[in-house]
Amino acid sequence: MTGARKLRIGFMPLVDAAALIVAVDKGFAKAEGLEIELVREASWSNIRDKLAIGHFDAAHLLTPMTIASTLGLGHVKVPFVAPVSLATNGNAITLSPALFEELGQIAGQELENPAISAQALGALVRRREAQGLEPLTFGMTFPFSTHNYQLRYWMAEGGIDPDRDLRLVVLPPPFMTESLREGHVDGFCVGAPWSSVAVDAGLGVILHFGCEIFPRAPEKVLALRASSVETDPQLALALVRAIAAAAEFVEDAGARGEVASILAKEERLAVDAKLITRTLEGRMIVNAAGDQRQATDYLVIRRDGGCRPNVRHAAWLYAQMLRWGQARYSLDHLSAAQGVMRHDLYDAVVGEASWSPEPIGAFAGPAFEGGDLPSYLRAFPIGEKI
């Protein structure tokens, strides 16, 4: 390659941007002949629009949002593609200490099993309705996000219709803790490190890790405009190589301290490195008493084929959009959604084609078989049918 190729890439300050940030700050991108300027953004909408109009060459983006933009759901249709995944899992559902306490009393036992906590939440929602109290309010980060789907799936297993029985509101992650303090929300689902920020402030209790709702939720991808990949596939391949190498480094337990200090910097996440280390280790402090819980899959970056874009994941995400009335069903949409996941580009340079990953899974409900979306959706008592 002659001279470094200059790129601008947008990101949100979250731990699940680790592979992208490390690719740039630890020299993996440079080794591929890429000179990347990372631009920290304030909202997912900004990232999407700047990628769409060409201000960004690529972006750290919510996987469901990448699909929504491609299908033109709720917004202008701009086809994006994902040649590499940046993260699987990484979210947590956090409640106000008062709500956590109340659910515990209703359940009469530990709340670690989401089936039990969902039932307790359902009972509480019905009780509040009977008493004429305001419905509970939960925050999440974007309509097209796994955070939204995690909350809805969990609530619906407790007999709650999330559009009717309580309020779900979009909240920017930096406002989540403050909203708990002010009582604007009773709980939220958010990516790391924001649940830990609420726990450390004594304002939140982590109820569930995202991976306890869905064991392998497709969280973030590196998104590019489909048109730019058509005209310059070599660029996408160079990005895949850089990110896959960086992801390998992020997963190395011996490098955690260094990764945490790279991410913690002022111009990256600007949070305490300790919070980042906890997330990378999957060893989370869940309440003000300092109790810890661990899940090795709390956040998956590279392991188990984590970087490879997965067509089945796109179908599953499309099914969640259908279930909650965000999309209308068509086979064209289904195949367009699947077409976002450009595993062909990934396989061309990384070569894990034979890997068959674990399904996304869920703590309850029907198994997702892939193609037959109508019967998958019919199996849920709550949600739209097609």
Partner 1 sequence: MKIVIVDENPARAAILEEGLREAGFQDVERLGEMHNLLKRIYAIDPDVILIDLENPSRDVLEQMFQVSRAVRRPVAMFVDQSDAASIEASVDAGVSAYIVDGLKKERIKSILDLCVSRFNAFSRLQDELARAKSDLEDRKAVDRAKGILMTSKKLTEEQAYAALRSAAMREKKKIAEVARAIITAAELLK
Give the binding range for partner 1 (CB under 8 A) out of 99-107, 126-134, 174-182, 207-215: 174-182
Among 5, 8, 40, 50, binds partner 1 (CB under 8 A): 50
With beta carbons less than 8 A apart as the criterion, state whether 368 and 360 touch.
yes
Applying CB under 8 A, does 69 fall inside the site for partner 1? no
d(CA 86, CA 308): 9
CB of 324 to partner 1, least distance (A): 8
Applying CB under 8 A, does 10 fall inside the site for partner 1? no
Give the binding range for partner 1 (CB under 8 A) out of 47-55, 110-118, 223-231, 272-280: 47-55
Mark 248-266 as b/e (b = at least 16 C-beta within 10 Å): bbbbeeebbeebbebbbee
Tell me the three state secondary structure of residue 177.
Answer: helix
Applying CB under 8 A, does 135 fall inside the site for partner 1? no
Q: Which is nearer to partner 1, 171 or 238 (CB)?
A: 171
H/E stretch holding 85 reads strand 80-89
Applying CB under 8 A, does 40 fall inside the site for partner 1? no
Q: Which is nearer to partner 1, 69 or 310 (CB)?
A: 69
CB of 142 to partner 1, least distance (A): 6
d(CA 180, CA 117): 19
Q: Tell me the one-letter amino acid at 277.
A: T
Applying CB under 8 A, does 8 fall inside the site for partner 1? no
Give the binding range for partner 1 (CB under 8 A) out of 28-36, 69-77, 214-222, 237-245: 69-77
Give the binding range for partner 1 (CB under 8 A) out of 170-178, 306-314, 333-341, 342-350: 170-178
Applying CB under 8 A, does 270 fall inside the site for partner 1? no
With beta carbons less than 8 A apart as the criterion, state whether 290 and 276 touch.
no
Peptide bond into 193 cis (omega under 30): yes
Among 27, 74, 351, 371, binds partner 1 (CB under 8 A): 74
How many Cβ atoms from other residues are within 10 Å of residue 228's Cβ?
17
CB of 76 to partner 1, least distance (A): 5
Ranges of H-type helices in the chain: 18-25, 28-31, 44-52, 63-71, 97-107, 114-130, 146-157, 176-182, 194-200, 210-213, 226-231, 233-251, 256-264, 273-281, 311-323, 331-340, 343-349, 373-378
Task: Tell me which residue of 181, 185, 183, 187 sits closest to 203, measured CA to CA.
Answer: 181
Q: How many residues bind partner 1 (CB under 8 A)?
A: 31
Q: Which residues bind partner 1 (CB under 8 A)?
A: 42-46, 49-50, 53, 55, 74-76, 141-143, 163-164, 167, 169-175, 178-179, 182, 184, 325-326
